[in-house]
Amino acid sequence: MPLQRPKGTQDHLPEGSPKLGLDVRASAFAHVEDTARRVLERAGASFINTPLFEEAEVYKRGVGGSTDIVRKEMFTVYYFGTHGGYVLRPEGTAGIVRAYLQNGLKQLPAPLKLWTHGPMFRAENVHKGRERQFHQVDYEVLGSSDPLVDAEAIWLMWEVVRALGLTGGRIKLGSIGDPADREGYNAYLREVFTPHLDRLSDDSRDRLERNPMRILDSKSGGDQALIRELEVRPMLDFLGDEARAHFGAVQNYLTAWGVPFDVDPSIVRGLDYYRRTAWELHHEGVGAKSALGGGGRYDGLAAQLGGPEVPAVGWAFGIERLLLALEAEGVALPRAGGPLLFLAAMDEERVGLAAQVALEARAVTRVEFAYRAMKPGSAFREADRRGAALAAVIGSEEAARGVLNVKTLATGVQREVALAELSAFLELERA
């Protein structure tokens, strides 16, 4: 039996492959990435690419030592049999902020908008829409605390998925306030949960002293039942005046721009560097765990990574989960097209000439050629199988006259085109 890919990974396959689903179509991933590039770069974002692995400390500080990601889900990188203190990146934000600090990007005009896409890695149980190697689109803005920046970030997330054809998603919007607001809320949570320590999961008992807000994110059914039974008040009840005004301004912008959202008091971010705005993008088509992605303001992250405080906000969505939502809505993404022209020689003596003509024509468009001589009927069938729009054959007579017989496969119409004019002809056909 041939060797298999690792569990929790996928091969992204070319068009025409057997068992080709939307979630493994290479063209579908490319379309999502190209759409994100178009939307985000029109808004002034620049592309950034960071390493697939970083020092583990980047994520211990940047994601949080108490999170499941750091405690349970990071892949450790070894080299020459030695543990080097590196991990495969589980998310994009911490690495981008590390790059911002290390490379002096603060000198660029603020707010600085950055975006990226690529694989992330988490050692967790595989389930629908979540692989151990998965892919994200990530957008970050550094250098401004204005609520307009938050609102634009949310609008851009919505605009990317809308441009892809998704209509059934919705933003769940919350706020986690300022550090003083969070301190008050954490004190309240300790007071509420401490009398019920015996009913909390092991993870939540551990979080109660260090990070009680993370109890609200617990995956334990018992913890969630206790939260409902105690009628735990939401973070929104503890917002100070400035954070409340900021939250109201974000909502006003989104309402004016027509972005669909619901205020969701249950949205929390448990780490100290998060501030104010937090949101998630949901779609029921991906199942019970309906989040496609999310974002928030993280003004304290740069300081956690050893730099100065830099106000920042950002988001990410998982491409695999987004493709599930698009599939649930029946959105047909464009498929990768075939060549504009497929070229074949009718005899072995002209195979080299056909190759040369094809290589020169590639200056203007995608052209493929046959590596052996083919009869016209076989050449046209092969061109159709490859998804070509045009097919051409060249034999001794055509070579002597310097022409090609070009057939439009959709109509069957054939035209004679001079070799010297082929590039100009193909440019017109491509338009």
- CA 310 to centroid of chain Cα atoms: 24
At residue 142 the predicted structure's pLDDT band, cuts being 50, 70 and 90, is very high
DSSP count for the chain of H helices, then E strands? 15, 16
What mean pLDDT do residues 409-422 have? Answer: 93
Region(s) of the chain under CATH 3.40.50.800: 341-430
Give Cβ neighbours of residue 366 (< 8 Å, ≥ 6 apart): 337, 338, 339, 340, 341
**pLDDT on residue 26:** 86
Give Cβ neighbours of residue 104 (< 8 Å, ≥ 6 apart): none
Query: What is d(CA 231, CA 245) in angstroms, rounded to the nearest whole number?
Result: 26
Q: Which two tokens stand for residue 38?
A: 């178009």
Query: What is d(CA 185, CA 234) in angstroms, rounded to the nearest whole number?
Result: 9
At residue 218 the predicted structure's pLDDT band, cuts being 50, 70 and 90, is confident
**pLDDT on residue 257:** 96
Question: Which strand ranges, in their side-by-side order, compose the sheet holding 76-79?
Answer: 53-55, 82-88, 76-79
Please, what is the average pLDDT of the chain? 89
pLDDT, one tens digit per residue, over 193-209 is: 888 888 888 888 888 88
User: Helices marked H in 62-146 — which ranges?
Assistant: 68, 93-102
Map residue 47 onto helix, strand or coil.
strand
**pLDDT on residue 1:** 78
At residue 287 the predicted structure's pLDDT band, cuts being 50, 70 and 90, is low
Whether the pLDDT of residue 373 is over 80: the answer is: yes
Buried b (16+ CB within 10 A) or exposed e, 103-139: eebeeeeebbbbbbbeebbbeeeeeebbbbbbbbbbb
Map residue 33 onto helix, strand or coil.
helix
Query: What is d(CA 167, CA 175) in angstroms, rounded to the nearest whole number?
Result: 25
Neighbours of 381 (CB within 10 A): 14
Neighbours of 12 (CB within 10 A): 14
pLDDT, one tens digit per residue, over 243-285 is: 999 999 999 999 999 999 999 988 887 666 789 999 999 987 6
Query: What is d(CA 326, CA 225) in angstroms, rounded to the nearest whole number?
Result: 33
Residue/partner pairs of 195-203 with CB below 8 Å, 24 or more apart: 196/226, 196/230, 199/226, 200/226
Map residue 161 onto helix, strand or coil.
helix
pLDDT, one tens digit per residue, over 19-75 is: 767 677 888 899 999 999 999 999 999 999 999 988 888 887 756 655 555 566 777
What mean pLDDT do residues 152-163 have? Answer: 96
- Residue 23's nearest CA partner among 41, 10, 8 is 10
User: Helices marked H in 103-199 — which ranges?
Assistant: 147-163, 179-193
Query: What is d(CA 132, CA 10) in angstroms, rounded to the nearest whole number?
Result: 9
User: Between these two residues, 153 and 9, which has the higher pLDDT value?
Assistant: 153
User: Between these two residues, 219 and 348, which has the higher pLDDT value?
Assistant: 348
Domain 22-177+239-328 has CATH 3.30.930.10: yes
Q: pTM above the 0.75 mark?
A: yes
Region(s) of the chain under CATH 3.30.930.10: 22-177+239-328
Buried b (16+ CB within 10 A) or exposed e, 413-428: eeeebebeebbebbee
Whether the pLDDT of residue 81 is over 70: the answer is: no
User: Between these two residues, 42 and 128, which has the higher pLDDT value?
Assistant: 42
Query: What is d(CA 172, CA 291) in angstroms, rounded to the nearest whole number?
Result: 10
What mean pLDDT do residues 87-109 have? Answer: 93
**pLDDT on residue 124:** 77
Residue 420 φ then ψ, to 5°: -70, -20
Residue 159 φ then ψ, to 5°: -65, -35
Domain 341-430 has CATH 3.40.50.800: yes
Q: Which two tokens stand for residue 249?
A: 């301004």
**pLDDT on residue 205:** 86
Strand partners, 136: 118, 318
**pLDDT on residue 272:** 67
Q: Which two tokens stand for residue 20?
A: 């080709």
Strand partners, 344: 393
CA distances from 122 to 68, 117, 232 (A): 10, 16, 31
Asked if 329 and 305 count as a contact pair (C-beta separation under 8 A), the reply is no
**Which range scores top for mean pLDDT: 11-15, 266-270, 317-321?**
317-321
